Structure 1
Amino acid sequence: MERLKLRHEIKHEISTSDYIAVQHRLKYIAGKDPNADQSGRYKIRSLYFDNVDNKALKEKIIGLNNREKFRIRYYNGDTRHIKLEKKGKINGLCYKKSTRLTVEQCEQIISGDIKWMRFSDDLLLLELYTKMNFQQLRPRILVDYVREPYIYKPGNVRITFDSGIKTGLNSKELFNQQTVSMNTHAVNKIIMEVKFDEFLPEIISDIIQLGQRQSSAFSKYAASRIFG
């Protein structure tokens, strides 16, 4: 049985001035993600799944400590590297599983042609097949945003700033870059996420300290689902 790697995750909704202050301090001690462009950012497009009862959405809103969601994700419009991801929580700690997909496989999944997945050797594909077949899990909504990531190796820390969160409403056209996106209520928000293994180094803790600001349970998926 696969052993999950559990990680801590802290989220903050921050102001532009908070972002400038934290980013200014962070850039001197943390490295940039090698996948980012010259600006230090990249674009993310995700297609999230849910069932007819909105299981994933309800679990997020309720704040269950044990929950999961599936998504298909790729970066900067590059369809050579597409991932099926399952992101979940166990007792409040996060984990993520992923596997590679082709454009053709994605289009089959989106159209509901999933019988081929039944014979896959990939356990994550088999799990998605089972849940699409028996729990009526279906592609639900597109979410686009820009991410600025930083890496600090001690503690395996990853700090990201997400902004410009938009949704494709009911569109499932994952690879259509002309898909009209609607601004979510969070389009002007900046979401800072801090992920780490067993410990958060003191230097990082000091850098991201934002006075009395409390961590939040912000969800880009939930913010986008407000439209449908």
Structure 2
Amino acid sequence: MDYRNEWKYQVSGAQLAVLAARLTPLLRPDGHHRPGGYAIRSLYFDDFDNSCLRENEAGVDDRRKYRLRIYNGDTGLIKLEIKEKLHGMTHKTGCTITPEQCRAILQGTPPPIGPDSPPPMNLLAAAMRTRGMAPKVIVEYERTAYISRLGNVRITFDRNIAASAAVGRFLDERVPLTPILPAGQHVLEVKYDEFLPDPVAQVLELGHLRRTAFSKYYLSRLVLSEPLAERAMQYELQ
């Protein structure tokens, strides 16, 4: 199983504009690219013990997240993804599911387990049956992504990150959203395999940016829970 490096930085809109101008000659847009970026909506799961939330807060190194994802509001293409973290590196597996399967999951019905089901579907089904894994929060944002075959580099700008507790409305055209970062603050993610090519590293000038253990899921849960608002503020400043 191949794991990738994943670095995250909290940045301003002005910093993203400078980085975009530097990266455009070196890297190409990813397959979802649209002028001005594209929209991502993710639905994150957690179990009856809120294990994913607590592991994020404790900085547990070996952990797994389940999520559903759609792009640009297209409910005809829904992805189930499982993201694993180990020793500071990440690995992602996934499969597509139908709108009907998605609606059943939203209603708390686990998918059937069987040899013909994709492994991610079987893992989610088992987690729903044994651990009470269920939808907890929607996270929505706008993304611009740049990729390069050299080093399998993927650099993403995630803007206007917002969250919603209306998990049953995941497939709706619009959901009520609450911003999870201060106005003008966004997230830069840098992902690569064994090495980050020097030209890309030089353009990014990562030493001038503040690296963070940012988790969209974790901060969204904090922001949407009033008693945890102070912890959310502290988390942003780490």
TM range (shorter): over 0.9
Aligned-pair CA distance for 1:211: 4.2
Matched, 1:26 2:23: yes
| SS of equivalent residue, structure 2 residue 150 | coil
- Which of 166, 169, 173 is the matching residue for 1:173? 169
Matched, 1:163 2:179: no
Tell me which amino acid in the other structure corresponds to 2:52: A
- Which of 126, 130, 135 is the matching residue for 1:134? 130
Counterpart contact for 2:157–2:188, Cα < 8 Å:
yes
Deviations, residues 130-176 of structure 1 (Å, cap 9, x unaligned): 11111111111111000000012210100000011111124321111
Counterpart contact for 1:165–1:186, Cα < 8 Å:
no
| SS of equivalent residue, structure 2 residue 60 | coil
Count of matched residue pairs: 223
Deviations, residues 18-72 of structure 1 (Å, cap 9, x unaligned): 2122111001111011321133x11000110001221111111221211110000
Structure 2 Cα separation of the partners of residues 53 and 214 of structure 1: 32
Q: Percent identity?
A: 35
Structure 2 Cα separation of the partners of residues 195 and 72 of structure 1: 21
Deviations, residues 108-129 of structure 1 (Å, cap 9, x unaligned): 0110122x42235322111111
| Gaps in structure 1 of 5+ consecutive residues | none
Counterpart contact for 2:43–2:167, Cα < 8 Å:
no
Structure 1 Cα separation of the partners of residues 72 and 117 of structure 2: 29
Counterpart contact for 2:106–2:167, Cα < 8 Å:
no
Matched, 1:148 2:167: no
Structure 1 Cα separation of the partners of residues 216 and 90 of structure 2: 16
Structure 1 Cα separation of the partners of residues 147 and 70 of structure 2: 20
Partner of 1:82: 78
| SS of equivalent residue, structure 2 residue 16 | helix
TM-score of the pair, normalised by structure 1: 0.93
Tell me which amino acid in the other structure corresponds to 1:65: D
Structure 2 Cα separation of the partners of residues 29 and 213 of structure 1: 20
| SS of equivalent residue, structure 2 residue 171 | coil
Of 24-33 and 176-185, more deviation after overlay is shown by 176-185
1:86-105 matched pairs, under 5 angstroms: 86-105=82-101
| SS of equivalent residue, structure 1 residue 21 | helix
Aligned-pair CA distance for 1:95: 0.2
Aligned-pair CA distance for 1:17: 2.2
Partner of 1:67: 63
1:193-208 matched pairs, under 5 angstroms: 193-208=189-204
Matched, 1:6 2:3: yes
Q: Are residues 34 and 124 of structure 1, via their aligned partners in 2, closer, same or farther at CA, if it must alter by over 3 Å?
A: closer
Of 46-55 and 177-186, more deviation after overlay is shown by 177-186
Q: In proportion to residue count, which structure has more helix?
A: 2
Structure 2 Cα separation of the partners of residues 166 and 177 of structure 1: 15
| SS of equivalent residue, structure 2 residue 139 | strand
Cα RMSD for the two superposed structures: 1.5
Structure 1 Cα separation of the partners of residues 217 and 138 of structure 2: 9
Counterpart contact for 1:149–1:160, Cα < 8 Å:
yes
Matched, 1:118 2:109: no
Structure 2 Cα separation of the partners of residues 24 and 122 of structure 1: 40
Counterpart contact for 2:41–2:141, Cα < 8 Å:
yes
TM-score of the pair, normalised by structure 2: 0.89
Structure 2 Cα separation of the partners of residues 118 and 74 of structure 1: 23
